[in-house]
Amino acid sequence: DAGITQSPRHKVTETGTPVTLRCHQTENHRYMYWYRQDPGHGLRLIHYSYGVKDTDKGEVSDGYSVSRSKTEDFLLTLESATSSQTSVYFCATEGGGTDTQYFGPGTRLTVL
């Protein structure tokens, strides 16, 4: 995961505040994904991108939006954070025709 970074790595915020998580890759991969990981649920796909300005919803997209203005960056925004969005968020990339995903180190978000 050396080529994928996430920021911030930890964040505590209050209900109702906007939050933006950033994923940055140096792999030049076309596809990028945002997942959340919660006990008992495994990884669930929030949104994904198949190119600059091309994004689509995943399994649990309500309350989240994304943007991808450059190949390297994929932003996840919680417009108005809720306690149910307390989770660990992972970014992943996929490219080179390998069908393999490469994960970032994760962001632990706590919404009080």
Q: Which residues of this chain interact with other proteins, rule CB under 8 A?
A: 1, 4, 35, 40-43, 45, 48, 58-59, 90, 92, 94, 98-106
CB of 80 to other proteins, least distance (A): 27
Count of CB atoms situated within 10 Å of the CB of 83: 10
Q: Looking at beta carbons only, is 10 or 15 nearer to other proteins?
A: 10
| Pairing verdict, β 107-111 and 10-13 | parallel
38: its two tokens:
């919660």
Q: Looking at beta carbons only, is 13 or 37 nearer to other proteins?
A: 37
Q: Is residue 21 classed exposed, middle or buried when 0-12, 13-18 and 19+ CB atoms within 10 A define those classes?
A: buried
Q: Looking at beta carbons only, is 82 or 100 nearer to other proteins?
A: 100
CB of 73 to other proteins, least distance (A): 17
